[in-house]
Structure 1
Amino acid sequence: MSLKWKLTGLFLVMTGLSLLLFRNGESVLKGYGFTVNPWMTFLALVLPGGLVLIYSYRLTEDVRTLQACAQRLSRGSFEQVPGLSSGAELGQLGEELNRLSRHIENLIQTAAQETHRLEALLGGMQEGVVALDHVGRVVLLNSAAEEIFSRPFAEVKHKYLVELVQDQELDRLVAEVLQGGAAALIELNIGEYIVRTQVSPILSEDGRARGAVIVCHDITELRRLEKLRTEFVANVSHELRTPLTSIKGFAETLLDGAAEEPALRERFLKIIQAESLRLQRLVEDLLTLSHIENRGVRRADGISNVQRAYEKIQPVIERYAEAKGISLNVAIPPDLPALSIGEDLLSQLMLNLLENAVKYTSGGSVWLKASTGVGEVRLEFGDTGCGIPEKSLPRIFERFFRVDKARSREQGGTGLGLSIVKHIVDGSGGKVTVQSELGKGTVFTCSLPMAL
């Protein structure tokens, strides 16, 4: 039975009961010669009202229970409504609230799971992602974007894009996209980053832009490598052109008649031979560097003994030092542990550093000292030569970098020796450092891992 009929019926029954009690009571009392008792009249009127009040109280309590449940639901609490006793309608309303509560709870749990999945996906992306609302305020910023823009999401949340990055061209593209424009691409310089940025609209069902997403691809390393490649090609072209020009020029001079003069012919042929050797060394260094970069220094190449590696280059370096009047001191302990680097690579590393030391030392001394550290062997290559200016130290391992270009070419250097050393040491898991004082000498220290 519906609540309205219950209340109407209760009212009619209680009213009829009151009238019946009042009339019957009055007739009975008058038949016995009694007057009407006002208290009986009052009871006949109040008793039905009391019953209605009790029922109304129960009804009010049920309504308050439903109200409290609705308030808890609005605050995110999904506690179920207890059983109600005041009527079918309120009981059904309580059941509907329970179903609504369970439904909302499921929706929130599903949304939370989707949010966690989205956060995990965005957090694992290398690209920076920025989401904007329909007026250009930041509503999402993943960890990669936080690193690129050097701003935490909490600091720029619900703020305009200009608070995140100040770039007029990006602001213009975002404004066009939010006004219904197509996706656009732009390259930005943001601090130390070079970023390829794509701005795309977030469309609603009716095709209107209700926001925009900015995807930032960090291409800093790509641009750096492109720059290195361009510089490398330019340097290689220059380094190859110089000896080739000399060989070509002196060969043409000999063909034009200089070959008839023995002294001139011998001088020119020696120059051609020296330039050919220089060209050969350059090509060999380039091939070595390319081989190391492409193949890497793999531990599968074998292990090496420092003493045996030095013995391979000993005749070459001793003759070179003797020709320049330089004292060569080598101290390699016989019980030195083996290294996890190929013996040929270790020999090349030692030859490059010792040749470099002898090349830039005049009448002084050059030394090689080996010692054992924790899990590593330290090789110290020192000289009492001209030294390296402090401002040049950060660049000495760059390809084709020369402190004194004229002197390096005069000495026959290719500008690749230290770069090869750096690649060998880094590829083996070691570390190379340099200390130098202008006019007093230079010390290179290579720390190489022991063989397991």
Structure 2
Amino acid sequence: MRIKWLIIPIYLLVSSLSLLLFWLGAQVQTGIRLEIDFMALAFAILLPGGIVYFFADRLGERIERIYSAVKGIAQDQSQPTNLPEFTYELGNLSREVTELGQRLKVSISTNRRESQKIQAILAGMQEGVISLDRVGRIVLLNRAAEKLFGKKQDAVRNRYLSELNGFEKLEELISIALEKGLPGQTELLIRSKMMIRVQVNPILEEKDRSQGAVIVCYDITELRRLEQLRTEFVGNVSHELRTPLTSIKGFVETLLDGAAEVPDLRERFLNIIHKETLRLQRLVDELLTLSRIENQRPDVCNGRSRIQEAYEKIKPVIGPYAEAKSIELEVVIPNTLPEVAMGIDLLSQVLLNLMENAVKYTAKGRVWLHASYVNQSIRLEFGDTGCGIPQEDLPRVFERFYRVDKARSREQGGTGLGLSIVKHIVEGAGGKIWVTSKLGSGSLFICELPTRNGGITNEEEPKDTNL
């Protein structure tokens, strides 16, 4: 109801009552019965009534404008920056409303900017962050938490975390944080493949009452994998070192116990000790090589060399080895291949390890090395007609100390580090290596290396080198 329709009836009632009392008072005072002049009575009431109506209407309009301004502030739709200057109480009220609106505008703008900053920080975090209210319902998930748990924020907001995963350890920590205000930490395996560390911290009020909790999740899958690799590496190194050392120790003790007096035994035992010492030296050398490559990986590609030159460097080693086993060696290296972005020593080591590995596991037949220029890279194919590799072992052949046939590898003096060294060298230079094989039909190792100048040279036509 507009204010003028409240003021006018009150005015009419009060005016009529006042005239009635005035009329009765006049009669009592004069003792004469006075007649009522309705025309004068109506004029006396309506004329001031019109004036009251005019000012009441203007007052109502002013109050209506102030009301609209306050309503706009409440709905955040407008700001009362253009309220007219009123006088007296309405003027004070309008000024206060204007200042209130301006302060709210600044406050809302500041809060919005801070909220955007927090959202940007949470979105950029590598750790997953989940915010819960005081009863354990989800308020917020950042992008990393969405990836970890495979859930979108809009799909889980206002739902209990216990409805989404069923991890008893995490639910217990959340209950402790919400009820007792105590932090907690645990590790969880999610989606059967990812290990995460979870830190639950309560959000405390002044009186140590929890009004919610924040869960921070760290992906430690890679950390656990590296720890497992380190444990396995230490175990493998210890085992590989212990084997030749045990052999050396045993034969030395036998010699000290009197076998040194028998020439045939002494010579045979010393030859075995020498063989085991060479094996031990080779293992240590390859471990040092692997460590050096890992620690100086950026330096792997600081150099240039040609495939032909690297092969000529290892030819005196690999040629007699293949000839001794009556294995046909086929090498095809075009002279026009561009330079490889790798030093000749490292490239020679790649060629030697892969070709030596092929000859070692080939009893009869042939071993080949084919080089070509494919997709702006040098493609090297190392093939053999040897025993092959089972399909289940193919993903692990580049692991340290992994052997397909452990007994045969040790019998032939292998350390299990050659292919791992090759992979580190190739990947350190920006290349890639993989293997295809069929049990009983041989193996094919394919290596792609980046070139130094990115193209074929114009020296001479491709030429095959067959040995």
- The residue number in structure 1 matching 2:122 is 122
- The residue number in structure 2 matching 1:61 is 61
Alpha-carbon spacing, 1:60–1:86, altered in 2? closer, same or farther (3 Å): farther
Note the C-alpha offset of 1:370: 0.9
- The residue number in structure 1 matching 2:156 is 156
- The residue number in structure 2 matching 1:253 is 254
Q: How many residue pairs were aligned? A: 430
- The percent of aligned pairs where both chains have the same amino acid is 55
SS of structure 2 residue aligned to 1:382:
strand
- The residue number in structure 2 matching 1:29 is none
Contact in 1 for aligned 2:131/2:141 (Cα 8 Å): yes
Q: In the TM superposition, what whole-angstrom CA distance separates every residue of 1:270-320 from its partner, at most 9, and x where no partner exists?
A: 222221221111111111111111221525631111111111111100011
Note the C-alpha offset of 1:434: 1.0
Contact in 2 for aligned 1:177/1:212 (Cα 8 Å): yes
Q: How does 1:16-415 map to 2 (within 5 A)?
A: 42-43=42-43, 45-80=45-80, 82-84=82-84, 88-191=88-191, 192-298=193-299, 301-415=302-416
Note the C-alpha offset of 1:168: 1.2
Q: Which amino acid aligns with 1:356?
A: N
Note the C-alpha offset of 1:44: 5.0
SS of structure 2 residue aligned to 1:179:
helix
TM-score normalised by L of structure 1: 0.88
Contact in 2 for aligned 1:378/1:447 (Cα 8 Å): yes
SS of structure 2 residue aligned to 1:254:
helix
Provide the C-alpha distance between the structure 1 equivalents of 2:87 and 2:159, rounded to a whole number of angstroms: 52
Provide the C-alpha distance between the structure 2 equivalents of 1:381 and 1:95, rounded to a whole number of angstroms: 88
Q: Which amino acid aligns with 1:141?
A: L
> Per chain length, whose mean CA-contact separation is higher, i.e. which structure has more relative contact order (CA < 8 Å, sep 6+)?
2
Give ranges in structure 1 of 5+ residues lacking alignment.
24-35
Contact in 1 for aligned 2:136/2:174 (Cα 8 Å): yes
SS of structure 2 residue aligned to 1:288:
helix
SS of structure 2 residue aligned to 1:251:
helix
Contact in 1 for aligned 2:301/2:429 (Cα 8 Å): no
Provide the C-alpha distance between the structure 2 equivalents of 1:255 and 1:83, rounded to a whole number of angstroms: 111
RMSD, aligned α-carbons: 2.7
Provide the C-alpha distance between the structure 1 equivalents of 2:374 and 2:75, rounded to a whole number of angstroms: 64
SS of structure 1 residue aligned to 2:180:
coil
Note the C-alpha offset of 1:158: 1.7
Contact in 2 for aligned 1:132/1:139 (Cα 8 Å): yes
Q: Which moved more, 1:426-435 or 1:261-270?
A: 261-270
TM-score normalised by L of structure 2: 0.85
SS of structure 1 residue aligned to 2:158:
coil
Q: Which amino acid aligns with 1:89?
A: E
Q: Which moved more, 1:280-289 or 1:262-271?
A: 262-271
Provide the C-alpha distance between the structure 2 equivalents of 1:289 and 1:427, rounded to a whole number of angstroms: 12
Note the C-alpha offset of 1:174: 1.6
Establish whether residue 435 from structure 1 lines up as the match of residue 436 from structure 2. Answer: yes
Q: Which amino acid aligns with 2:280?
A: L
Contact in 2 for aligned 1:81/1:97 (Cα 8 Å): no
Provide the C-alpha distance between the structure 1 equivalents of 2:302 and 2:256, rounded to a whole number of angstroms: 49
SS of structure 2 residue aligned to 1:333:
coil
Q: In the TM superposition, what whole-angstrom CA distance separates every residue of 1:189-223 from its partner, at most 9, and x where no partner exists?
A: 22322222222221112222212222222222111
- The residue number in structure 2 matching 1:26 is none
Give ranges in structure 2 of 5+ residues lacking alignment.
24-35, 454-467
Alpha-carbon spacing, 1:300–1:11, altered in 2? closer, same or farther (3 Å): same
